[in-house]
Structure 1
Amino acid sequence: MPSFALAFRFAPLAAALALVLISPDAAAASKREQAVAALNARMTAAEKRYRDALVKIGNNDPVGVAESNAALEDMEDAVDACSQQKGCEVTNMVTVYKRLLKTSADAQGQIPDEADDPSDLDPDHAGDIAFSNDVPEAAKAASLLDDKRHRFDKMVQYNPAVQAGIRRWLTDMRPSLMDSYENYQYMRQLMSPSFERAGLPEALLFGIMAKESNGKVHVTSRAGAAGPMQFMYATGLRFGLGQDGTGFDTRYDPHAVADASAAYLNERMGELNRSIEMALAAYNGGEGRALRIYNASEGRGFWDADVYNQFPAETRDYVPMVIAAAWLFLHPKKYGITFPRVESKYAPLRLAKPTSIYELTICLGSGGTRDGFMRALRNLNPRYQPDSYLPAGASLNATAQIVGLYNRHCVQGARAELAKQLVLSDPNSAIVRTGPVETLPPSGGIAPAPLGATPSVAAASKPKNPGKHKVAKNETLVSIAQRYQCDTKSLAKANGLKAPRYALRSGQTLKLQGCRE
């Protein structure tokens, strides 16, 4: 048999022997390299899909958005897998992710220059809002993929108590978790920089806010705690919160309370050996109690039985629930959670005509959201009551989506008129008076329509301002302010009425100061 034929015949055997002789370490290294190469290829493919989707979006192809979202999810999965694969460079992948999102933001164009001018913001918040208009919110979310941002995982215990909290958030409290996330997204750029500057995990901010208020800025507890982070009045004063020069309680201001919460938590953690659990116990159960328990236990942790059992039941529930919400904020996919996508890019809303937050909520519609925009508008503009009329030219803090919907539906047209009609509707005008009963309305009121007649919307929605109004039975200051398109607070001040009751009596004459002519 020729020598080359023998060589050919025994080549497979030689190859097998060579594989056997390869060291286990070399084989493992080769396997790691293949896994890393596969992840890099996966990231490259997802990057190409994302860029192709951007082209489709630019051409108004309806499938572009869905494909871009799918590509982003593939990239997130690749980064997550990379973080668990030895030898894979997570930083490089995150850099690609952020660069692509920045490319998307540049392609969509910037908010006009006036949006960056602090004078265009609500004057009470000028200079306070640190919105980043050059990068979409998704780019900030991408930074959570960095392992450094997951330091929270190593700062707390993932124990059965926390797991029970996760179970509650995922079952009975799931709607509250979703509400909290959605509300937080609108305020994220107001609040998260405070925790970042303080060196605290953003997840901790979310967890506290979810447990305290579900992200509803105007919540007040029976004990007197107020705002999205539920500061007691005395504690708030120590950290710069309370009544400002206009009478507004800044415990309802998201930016101010984020600063105060970060300062409070760092102060507590400085006393309590940088323990998040003990700092949270102080936040809920009282800082004096937490410090006494900590010192008496010679610095033992919250989960030590002697420490844990000295806190009230509310605090023993509070600490794991906050940690559980924070954990879900960082690890949604692991638990099958898809948080709602929120269009939260900031833009100021300049009013073309007098309106209220109630009226805006109606004319804006849902805009693809589940609950519409009332909560977002209230959270971003905590100084304004929802029924107070704001003058034309006033500026509200809003989002680019809200501004677009406002220009489309709220300046003029059928929906704008319907919203105005609904807000100005007076239940008293529905009562039909017959017989000898006096049919004339109180001074300044609107005469009821004859039985069977169709009332004029124009007449009901455009009352004249006679300068004074005589209060009828069951009328409230809010309904009167809506009728004459007044600011409720200005009307109350002009007539010496005190909040929050604004008590009126039948027959009382009000001066319609600041109302529409």
Structure 2
Amino acid sequence: MSVRIPRPFLILPLAILAGCASSGAPRSSGKATPEVNALYDRMNQASKGYEASIDQARRGDTPEAARSRKQALDQLKDASARCALTLGCDQQRFAAVFDRLLRLKDGSFIEGEDADDTEQEAEVGAQPGDASKSLVVGALPQAQRSVTMLKGQQFSDLMVMNGPVKAALEMWLTQLRPNLMDAYVNYQMLRYKMWPAYKKADLPEALLFGIMAKESGGKVHAVSRSGASGPLQFMYATGLRFGLSNTDGFDQRFDPAMAAMANAEYIDEQLGVFNNNLELTLAAYNAGEGRMRRLAAANPGAGFYDPQIYGQMSAETRDYVPMVLAAAWLFLHPDSYHLNWPKIDGQPGQIVLKRPASLAELTVCLGSAQGMSEGWFRTLRNLNPRLDPQMSQPVGTRLDVPRQLEKAYAATCTDGPWPILASDLHNAVKIVAPPPPAATSAALANGPSPSAAKSPSRASRQYTVRRGDTLVGIARKSSCADVEDIARLNGLKGHHLTVGQAIRVPVCR
């Protein structure tokens, strides 16, 4: 039996520059020495050289711009590494310069930037232990880690914020504040199902929350247009690689406990691949580990925010990594940002149905019990992901609920007017069929809108699934349907396909 060495408690990246990741040199309170001033001069020269490369790119001299950029970055990294070993040199200056260069508005000129929405599915068929992984480990030597292994209370005194993370913090605290609060409530209700897997893997709870907040907001049944599903948004092939299959018609990506276990295994595996670089690991989760391995191998020692990596990421991935980190940081330090998390009692409980009821009916009869002004529908769905919320469950069915609802159920849902009202409304839902689509007078007068012209029609063609096919790939070949259209047409709740399977694909009329 092998002995597992516990992973130190990861929270967030400390260093911005790879050369600054090693322990800092002793500080001197006196005047800067000639050696230190020389390093600062080299830092300023490198900054000017990088800005000059942007001007060259604007003029269309791309090859020369690339050479100038590389020379400037090499100079900046070298000076930063020497600063770490020089008495009295302030590494924060280098971090600030690098931060400014990252946020130059015209920094997107770097070649290779393209959209990549394949997420983890880029690695269909990839297995742990691929030869390319050892190449990446060699490209990220131990002395140049961009993740500092520290306990949370120590890290709060040492963290250096960069521009993207600060921008993400502002986004969570302003426009996305309602989403953040909903994610926190959902997570607290799901915590007893999800946190054990992360705890067992010695991974920080804040990281789990950050990923979930960005991926789904804690909505267990979330499905993206690309087919990523569940609270942690696994692509089907990647989920399958980590034990999330389709059993008895249920897609296990929607199971919060199983999804958390698979996510912990994935993060643990990729931290090993990227030498504990959390940012590159998160980028791999979003953009595909294959792409990140290639970029890391081509840019030895470069961290995620190094322009040689950052500039080749899609806008989605450049947003994803700092958003996850910012949500994790807020989870740990709400008071520092004038943020008050609601007090949530997520202790696990169960009820046994005394009368037939669906999750929808229970939501109606529970109302705003225990002060939940938004109702209990989301929580009931999240804790019972295998159940159709509109399907009535028989007497004796056991349902997972927060413990605080056990008494509320007994008081309001077993007898009296509320379950009768809930049943009456539910029966009305079952007998009312949605009206057929009808052309409006405006549509008749003006013709179909561009979006209507491309909406899925009832006409379809048969397609036989081949090896390597995914719903995402099949949908991309159709101008009339997306992943969910095809899934609904064929009753594919888990987006599961088998070779030789005949499915219907919508076609335009």
Task: Give structure 2 stretches of 5+ with no counterpart.
Answer: 1-149, 434-488, 494-509
Match of 1:470 in 2: none
1:402 paired to 2:405: yes
Measure the CA separation in 1 of the matches of 2:249 and 2:320: 32
1:264 paired to 2:256: no
Once structures 1 and 2 are overlaid, which stretch shifts more, 155-164 or 414-423? 155-164
Match of 1:229 in 2: 232
| Equivalences for residues 246-257 of structure 1 within 5 A | 246-257=248-259
Note the C-alpha offset of 1:158.
Answer: 2.4
TM normalised by structure 2 equals: 0.54
The amino acid of 2:346's aligned partner reads: S
SS class of match (2:404): helix
Match of 1:136 in 2: none
1:411 paired to 2:414: yes
Note the C-alpha offset of 1:148.
Answer: 3.1
The 1:300–1:192 alpha-carbon spacing in structure 2 relative to 1, beyond 3 Å, is: same
The amino acid of 2:330's aligned partner reads: L
Match of 1:350 in 2: 352
Measure the CA separation in 2 of the matches of 1:216 and 1:322: 16
Superposed CA offset, 1:147-201 (max 9, x none): 8344675997521210110000000000000000000000011111111111111
Match of 1:169 in 2: 172
SS class of match (1:169): helix
| Equivalences for residues 347-386 of structure 1 within 5 A | 347-367=349-369, 368-386=371-389
The amino acid of 2:337's aligned partner reads: Y
Match of 1:505 in 2: none
The 1:378–1:306 alpha-carbon spacing in structure 2 relative to 1, beyond 3 Å, is: same
Give the aligned length: 289
1:316 paired to 2:308: no
The 1:224–1:153 alpha-carbon spacing in structure 2 relative to 1, beyond 3 Å, is: farther
The 1:294–1:250 alpha-carbon spacing in structure 2 relative to 1, beyond 3 Å, is: same
The 1:151–1:370 alpha-carbon spacing in structure 2 relative to 1, beyond 3 Å, is: farther
Match of 2:134 in 1: none
Which of 199, 203, 214 aligns to 1:200? It is 203
Measure the CA separation in 2 of the matches of 1:205 and 1:359: 32
SS class of match (1:321): helix
Match of 1:341 in 2: 343
Match of 1:393 in 2: 396
Match of 2:51 in 1: none
The amino acid of 1:174's aligned partner reads: R
Percent identity among equivalent residues?
49
Superposed CA offset, 1:379-421 (max 9, x none): 0000001101100000011112111111010001011211111
The 1:426–1:237 alpha-carbon spacing in structure 2 relative to 1, beyond 3 Å, is: closer
Measure the CA separation in 1 of the matches of 2:223 and 2:400: 23
Match of 1:442 in 2: none
Match of 1:499 in 2: 491
SS class of match (1:425): helix
The amino acid of 1:217's aligned partner reads: V
Q: RCO (CA 8 Å, sep 6+): is it higher in 1 or 2?
A: 2
Match of 2:218 in 1: 215
Query: What's the Cα RMSD here?
Result: 2.2
The 1:310–1:150 alpha-carbon spacing in structure 2 relative to 1, beyond 3 Å, is: farther
Which of 423, 426, 434 aligns to 1:423? It is 426
Match of 1:283 in 2: 285
Q: Which portions of structure 1, spanning 4 or more consecutive aligned residues, are displaced by more than 2 angstroms? A: 147-158, 426-430, 497-501
The answer on whether the counterparts of 1:273 and 1:299 sit within 8 Å (CA) in structure 2 is no
Measure the CA separation in 2 of the matches of 1:294 and 1:153: 28
The amino acid of 2:340's aligned partner reads: T
Measure the CA separation in 2 of the matches of 1:174 and 1:343: 21
Superposed CA offset, 1:13-43 (max 9, x none): xxxxxxxxxxxxxxxxxxxxxxxxxxxxxxx
Superposed CA offset, 1:191-246 (max 9, x none): 111111111111000000000000000000110100000000000011000212x1
Superposed CA offset, 1:337-360 (max 9, x none): 111111211111100011000000
Match of 1:511 in 2: none
Larger Rg over CA atoms: 1
Measure the CA separation in 2 of the matches of 1:154 and 1:252: 38
Measure the CA separation in 2 of the matches of 1:294 and 1:148: 27
Match of 1:53 in 2: none
Note the C-alpha offset of 1:498.
Answer: 6.6
Measure the CA separation in 1 of the matches of 2:384 and 2:431: 31
Measure the CA separation in 1 of the matches of 2:309 and 2:218: 30
Task: Give structure 1 stretches of 5+ with no counterpart.
Answer: 1-146, 431-496, 502-517
The answer on whether the counterparts of 1:151 and 1:201 sit within 8 Å (CA) in structure 2 is no
The amino acid of 1:362's aligned partner reads: V
Match of 1:301 in 2: 303
